[in-house]
Amino acid sequence: LFDRPNEPMVSLKGDKKVLFQLTDQLLSPEYKNNGIEINTRFGEEATQIIPLKQLKTLPKFPKASKLPKDSEFSILLPAHQEMADEVIDALLAVPENQLQDLLSTCVYARVNLNPQLFNYCYSVVLMHRPDTENIPIQNFAETFPAKFVDSKVFSQARETATVAARGAPRIPIVIPRDYTATDLDIEHRLAYWREDIGINLHHWHWHLVYPFTSNQRQIVAKDRRGELFFYMHQQVIARYNGERLANSLSRTKKFSNFREKIPEAYFPKLDSLTTSRGWPPRQANMQWSDVNRPVDGVVVTLNDMDRWRRNIEEAIATGLVKMPNGSTQSLDIDTLGNIIEASILSPNREYYGSLHNNGHNIAGYMHDPTHRYLESFNVISDEATNMRDPFFYRWHAFIDDLFQRFKESPNVRPYSPSELENPGVEISSVRVESSTGNVNTFNTFWMQSDVDLSRGLDFSDRGPVYVRFTHLNHRPFQYVIDVNNKGDARRATVRIFMSPKFDERNLPWILADQRKMFIEMDRFVVPLNAGQNKITRKSTESSLTIPFEQTFRDLSAQSGNARAPNLAGFNFCGCGWPQHMLVPRGTEAGMQYELFVMLSNYSLDSVNNPDGSQKSCVEASSFCGLKDRLYPDRRNMGYPFDRPSAGAANIQEFIRPNMALIDVTIRLQNVTEQNPLNPKTA
Ligand code: CUO
């Protein structure tokens, strides 16, 4: 049901063509002919015909059916949230293990509702129904490729598919590395990072796993989801800032004056296959204004934003949350995340509003705040596209600053020595061994990879359509850590972070700033014997990342690659920072970084989780948590850098025997290599 969202109802499995036999009952009057046509058109070619069950009752979808099929959809819009809630409720209401009923209900929703709305609800439902949780969720970049690649690709794709169907080789369509702007725009230096398909897929998947709204509270109320909202986005900003320094730009400036002009422009060069329209751009120096678009449920003024911000700042300053009944509760980071985003777990949505989500919406409608021109939102109101826009980082830098002010407030106590130390555990040396033979140097380079877009294209019964895009990658490496354990055998959590060594003025950092620049590279638990221990850990094992094959699920499957992981668990496991973006780009001359390693006291780290035996893919728990389990680390997310230090002015003063700091270099080799996983296209 994920395949070819703009054309019901045939799906492709390799060479197989699967047809869902549409019955009259499942089709709205306007689509009846379409359904019959499809039944006849594909009936003969189909290798598998799936009959659908006649349902006793059909869901009504009074709200969701109002969204035209050729409209954009965004969960950030309140009107669309209500629609999604309605569909998700209906699909969850089908009794467990009544899979024929579920299939017919889903087909009914699929044929009668907006394709993007359906895709979102269907994905959430598959992920949260016990009887479907192992059904893979299809890679979003393949079902809605237009959200991820240059719109020029699609007319070429049609041509390629046509000639390939007549026997010509399937030559990939090459997307140039630079297609959204030129170097006249300094922000364009970061396009390789902002427009990375894997990064954008991660962000879309994260928000799919952690929705902020639903009538089903348990879908939202996952362990520490408010804190994870803070932490994942904080790390995105830290990574982006490091990347900016490598490109001779200063850290991104938070957007804190809501009435200030925005110098950053963005012209996305994306078309929507749903709306057949281009995504609106943003010119330089545009400004926020009140948004009055009742049709989208977005009626919000800058004064509302000021008021919510003041109320949130008051909570941060006092450490107290005002409850709807006038009482107060103490503020913690998880609650603050839910307040700021805002999720339905916010304890007082009336008072604190929805600051972050409405920032996305106001920015998303700057070109048409009153719907005068019937324009849809721009990329910043869609979780699958918003990381492409430089303004995303300015907005999230503002959001992050609110969280940091809480962490810097008197209500958050700096860590005591016993919370940082690990008595008897001493790191004697740390080094990074690259597969190139280099020590303490990370090697980055460019790679070209192919993805098949055919599942998202309505002419795709002509076989695969590959596009070839260029992305950053790095040579594999491993950490080697020598540890002396003066006590008994025990466990420890290894925490690895790194940060640029110098700030934008080329000066060493003060810790108060550098702590916000440390990016997590890995976190894992190790057993320690008494005495000397040697710990080795591969870059591919990082708790942050998922392998390339998991980010681009079908790539490896199609190339028949034997290394492809078991993909049954893609639902949750599609969430994770892409392995190819684990290491910052660095510079050709070599950029200096500091690598920090800590072995923390496991008795303060451990979480009592039931055995995670049903592991079916590499899990990226640092940013994504674990499905149906507690976040696997009891410390505050970002520990030990999530808050100011009591006494250390710089990172050297912060280091204790269970920690180590080494100088490393990130060197970019300016070459472009082909991904060995690319399908043989000849
Ligand atoms: Cu992920 Cu603003 O939260 O985009």
By annotation, the residues acting in catalysis are 341
> From the CB of 394, is ligand 1 less than 6 Å away?
no
Q: Tell whether 364 and 481 lie within a shared domain.
A: no
Q: How many angstroms is it from 377 CA to the middle of ligand 1?
A: 15
Residue whose C-alpha is closest to residue 291's, from 208, 217, 375: 375
Atom of ligand 1 nearest to the CA of 395: 2
Q: Is residue 163 part of a domain?
A: no
> What pLDDT sits at residue 155?
82
- Per DSSP, 255 falls in state -
Q: Tell whether 124 and 207 lie within a shared domain.
A: no
Q: How many angstroms is it from 268 CA to the middle of ligand 1?
A: 18
> What pLDDT sits at residue 462?
63
Which amino acid is it at 424?
G
At 454-483, the pLDDT tens digits run 777 766 566 788 889 999 999 999 999 999
Q: Is residue 269 part of a domain?
A: yes
Q: Is residue 445 part of a domain?
A: no
Q: Is residue 117 part of a domain?
A: yes
Atom of ligand 1 nearest to the CA of 386: 4
Q: Tell whether 241 and 290 lie within a shared domain.
A: yes
Q: Is residue 83 part of a domain?
A: yes
Atom of ligand 1 nearest to the CA of 229: 3
Residue whose C-alpha is closest to residue 465's, from 162, 19, 175: 162
Q: Tell whether 385 and 424 lie within a shared domain.
A: no
Q: How many angstroms is it from 207 CA to the middle of ligand 1?
A: 8
At 393-436, the pLDDT tens digits run 999 999 999 999 999 999 999 999 999 999 999 999 999 999 99
> From the CB of 203, is ligand 1 less than 6 Å away?
yes
Give the residue, out of 202, 213, 386, 401, with the most ligand 1 atoms within 8 A of its beta carbon, to mutate for a pocket test: 386
> What pLDDT sits at residue 472?
97
At 193-231, the pLDDT tens digits run 999 999 999 999 999 999 999 999 999 999 999 999 999
At 231-256, the pLDDT tens digits run 999 999 999 999 999 999 999 999 99
Q: Tell whether 422 and 501 lie within a shared domain.
A: yes
> From the CB of 234, is ligand 1 less than 6 Å away?
no
- Per DSSP, 187 falls in state G
> What pLDDT sits at residue 611?
66
Q: How many angstroms is it from 305 CA to the middle of ligand 1?
A: 17
> From the CB of 225, is ligand 1 less than 6 Å away?
no
At 321-367, the pLDDT tens digits run 999 999 999 999 999 999 999 999 999 999 999 999 999 999 999 99
Give the residue, out of 213, 233, 339, with the most ligand 1 atoms within 8 A of its beta carbon, to mutate for a pocket test: 233
| Cβ–Cβ < 8 Å for 54, 84 | no
The CATH code of the domain that includes 370 is 1.10.1280.10
**pLDDT top residue among 515 and 556:** 515
Instruction: Note whether ipTM > 0.90 here.
Output: yes
Q: How many angstroms is it from 460 CA to the middle of ligand 1?
A: 32
Give the residue, out of 240, 381, 383, with the most ligand 1 atoms within 8 A of its beta carbon, to mutate for a pocket test: 383
Atom of ligand 1 nearest to the CA of 383: 4
Q: Tell whether 257 and 330 lie within a shared domain.
A: yes
Q: Tell whether 421 and 361 lie within a shared domain.
A: no
Q: Is residue 108 part of a domain?
A: yes
Confidence of residue 553 (pLDDT cuts 50, 70, 90): low
Q: How many angstroms is it from 101 CA to the middle of ligand 1?
A: 35
Strand partners, 587: 667
Domain range enclosing 97? 10-135
CA–CA separation, 563 vs 20, rounded Å?
A: 32
> Which tokens hold the place of 337?
């995340």
For the chain, what is the domain count?
3
**pLDDT top residue among 391 and 571:** 391
> What pLDDT sits at residue 570?
46
Q: Tell whether 364 and 497 lie within a shared domain.
A: no
| Cβ–Cβ < 8 Å for 617, 546 | yes
CA–CA separation, 251 vs 92, rounded Å?
A: 44
Q: Is residue 179 part of a domain?
A: no
Q: Is residue 446 part of a domain?
A: no
Q: How many angstroms is it from 382 CA to the middle of ligand 1?
A: 9
The CATH code of the domain that includes 90 is 1.20.1370.10
Q: Tell whether 119 and 241 lie within a shared domain.
A: no
Atom of ligand 1 nearest to the CA of 207: 1
Q: How far is CA 416 from CA 585, 640, 646, in A?
A: 35, 11, 8
> From the CB of 360, is ligand 1 less than 6 Å away?
yes
Nearest CA to ligand 1 atom 4: 383
Q: Model pTM?
A: 0.93
Residue whose C-alpha is closest to residue 626's, from 210, 45, 176: 210
> What pLDDT sits at residue 457?
74
How are the residues of the chain apportioned to helix, strand and coil, as percentages rounded to the nearest 5?
Answer: 35, 20, 45
Q: Tell whether 347 and 421 lie within a shared domain.
A: no
Q: Tell whether 544 and 620 lie within a shared domain.
A: yes
> Which tokens hold the place of 425?
């555990």
Q: Tell whether 335 and 422 lie within a shared domain.
A: no
> From the CB of 386, is ligand 1 less than 6 Å away?
yes
Atom of ligand 1 nearest to the CA of 387: 4
Q: How many angstroms is it from 338 CA to the middle of ligand 1?
A: 13
CB count within 10 Å of CB 181 equals 16
Give the residue, out of 75, 232, 396, 575, with the most ligand 1 atoms within 8 A of its beta carbon, to mutate for a pocket test: 396
> What pLDDT sits at residue 562?
32
CA–CA separation, 293 vs 214, rounded Å?
A: 22
